[in-house]
Amino acid sequence: MEETGREAVATAVQRVAGMLQRPDQLDKVEQYRRREARKKASVEARLKAAIQSQLDGVRTGLSQLHNALNDVKDIQRSLIDVNKDWRQSINTIESLKDVKDAVVQHSQLAAAVENLKNIFSVPEIVQETQDLIDQGELLQAHRKLMDLECSRDDLMYEQYRMDSKNTRDMNLIDNYFGDMQKLSEELAKQLWMVIQRSLVTVRRDPTLLVSVVRIIEREEKIDRRMLDRKKQTGFIPPGRPKKWKEKMFNVLDRTVTTRIEGTQADTRESDKMWLVRHLEIIRKYVLDDLLVAKNLLDQCFPPHYEIFKRLLSMYHQALSLRMQDLASEDLEANEIVSLLTWVLNTYKSIEMMGNPELAPEVDVNTLQPLLSQEVVDELLSTYMSTLTSNIIGWLRKALETDKKDWLKENEPEADQDGYYQTTLPAIVFQMFEQNLQVATQISEDLKIKVLYLCLQQMSSFLSRYKEEANLYKEEHLRNRQYHLCYVQYMVAIINNCQTFKESIISLKKKYLTPVMEELMTSSHACIDAVLDDVAKEGCASLLDEVFMDLEVKFYYIWHPLFKIVEIVSVSV
């Protein structure tokens, strides 16, 4: 406090010194003193208010602590009284043990009396239940089965309460109701048969399917009740929980898988279109089944089953597995195209999952791919490799066919303008066109790759075409009498070069954007250069042919004159 007082005095001295730095400020000393007095009074008032508030809080806290202490003392006295009463009641409880045993025995006897009718008529009820199952009266059969199970479970529960370790009596009860388990299994078989044919049953007899769903719902409720009792008592009857709802979805899943796999025909070895037919059957079956599930089946199941959503997931999973199996087989190029076209395009098109009748429950944008990108890339790689080999073979065969035409004794065909031309350009570009149309159905990227492959192979093909044209010319020059239509076919070869150029330009405009067309300018320029060389060499060979014919003519004209000149020269 002394140090605080000294600091206050020092602060006051500094403030006063700051206020009285000029002589004229002495006149305001009284004004300063009144102002500081008001501030002091204000601070003292706030300090008193704060202290009073703290004192009120402390007074309230002390009062509450005093009340709590009184409550604790009351509770302590009550606990002492309870302890005395409890000690006095121990002897009374022990004396009531016989009464407790009598109550348990009475409960068991009451359960036995209540189920006495069912106990004595178990064989009869079992036979009636079996007859109802055979007659297809599943709801009534399940009702009787539930009565038998209830009687057995109540007896076993009472026995468990009395002596949980007495397995002998428990087994005796279980064996007496042993035929009941066989009935449950037989009823389950009938249920699963209906579930397997649910898409057919819902059209012919939807009430039967509804009955099956009601039975499964009953069993689910019983399962939940038994599991709750197990948490409380530790007892659960034999065969519980049955989990028939879970088994029902497993049966549906196996049915969907079998339906997808069972669409493959047995004529694969002899039918080249087996995959196309197989995929078309799958498309039709899946679309029909989903439409039935959406419009009819969904109304036979409780909403929380979400039966259509589950079936959609099952079909998607089964289709994915089936497509993976097909992709792993040794497929030909046309089969790879069919598979990828179906997986990438048909599956999400309006012909299948994108069908307007399936909307809005089915959103194709949320469907996962049937094949992973790695599998698709592998199939595309195999297809491109096979296509490359096929194109090379096709081009070689087309060139061999064209070479055979060169040896014919009749002139080549003419186009609409009367110009000679062979069928080689039409054959080659028809083949290119077909492959590009197929690639377009799969993806834009594959279309560009196939076009690039065609241009690449076209360049190699034209080099061989140039070589064969030169060999054709050389063979003709060795024996000019051998190729009677040499000139006409050489003209056709030259005209083919122009046709090749126009066809390449047409392909690029049809299947490429202007940007992609510019990127392939180099390959196009290389092809044009080869075609120009073939045309120039062809024209040169035609000129050589003309000059050789003229040389013969000039020889017969000028040779006699040369003889006369020679004779005259000798005479002179």
Q: From the centroid of its chain, how far is CA 53?
A: 70
The conformation of residue 64, written as its DSSP 8-state character, comes to H
In this structure, how many other beta carbons lie within 10 angstroms of the beta carbon of residue 286? 22
Q: From the centroid of its chain, how far is CA 127?
A: 49
The torsion angles phi and psi of 414, rounded to 5 degrees, stand at: -110, 155
Rounded Cα gap, residues 301 and 112, in angstroms: 38
pLDDT value at residue 550: 66
Rounded Cα gap, residues 99 and 95, in angstroms: 8
The answer to whether the CB of 154 falls within 8 A of the CB of 115 is yes
pLDDT value at residue 561: 44
Q: From the centroid of its chain, how far is CA 326?
A: 17
The answer to whether the CB of 117 falls within 8 A of the CB of 151 is no
pLDDT value at residue 407: 80
Q: From the centroid of its chain, how far is CA 228?
A: 38
Alpha helices in 197-235 (DSSP H): 198-204, 206-233
3-state SS, residue 266: coil
Residue ranges per structural domain of the chain: 29-95, 101-242, 264-371, 398-544
CATH class, range 398-544 = mainly alpha
In this structure, how many other beta carbons lie within 10 angstroms of the beta carbon of residue 310? 15
pLDDT value at residue 567: 47
The answer to whether the CB of 347 falls within 8 A of the CB of 353 is yes
Tokens of 296: 């009819």
The answer to whether the CB of 265 falls within 8 A of the CB of 278 is yes
The answer to whether the CB of 301 falls within 8 A of the CB of 198 is no
Rounded Cα gap, residues 236 and 249, in angstroms: 24
The answer to whether the CB of 300 falls within 8 A of the CB of 209 is yes
Residues of the chain with pLDDT under 70: 24-27, 90-101, 103-120, 162-167, 169, 176, 265-271, 480-484, 513-525, 544-572
Backbone conformation region of residue 234, classed left if phi is above 0, alpha if psi is from -120 to 50, else beta: left
The torsion angles phi and psi of 420, rounded to 5 degrees, stand at: -65, 140
The answer to whether the CB of 295 falls within 8 A of the CB of 359 is no
User: How far, in Å, are 7, 8, 35, 39, 404 from residue 44 at the CA level?
Assistant: 19, 15, 14, 9, 126
Percentages (nearest 5) of helix, strand, coil residues in the chain = 85, 0, 15
**206 prior amide bond cis, ω within 30:** no
pLDDT value at residue 454: 87
- Using one digit for the tens of pLDDT, what is the confidence trace for 392-441? 999 899 888 888 888 877 777 777 777 888 888 888 888 988 888 888 88
Amino acid making up residue 242:
K
- The number of residues making up the chain comes to 572
The dihedral built from the CA positions of residue 351, 356, 358 and 362, taken in this order, carries a sign that is positive
The answer to whether the CB of 138 falls within 8 A of the CB of 186 is no
In this structure, how many other beta carbons lie within 10 angstroms of the beta carbon of residue 538? 24
Rg (CA), the chain: 51
The answer to whether the CB of 301 falls within 8 A of the CB of 213 is yes
Question: Which residue, 325, 319, 257, is CA-closest to 283?
Answer: 319
Rounded Cα gap, residues 244 and 191, in angstroms: 10
The answer to whether the CB of 397 falls within 8 A of the CB of 461 is no
Structure pTM? 0.67
Q: Which long-range contacts (CB under 8 A, 24 or more apart) does 114-121 make?
A: 114/154, 115/150, 115/151, 115/154, 115/155, 118/147, 118/148, 118/151, 119/151, 119/155, 119/176
pLDDT value at residue 184: 86
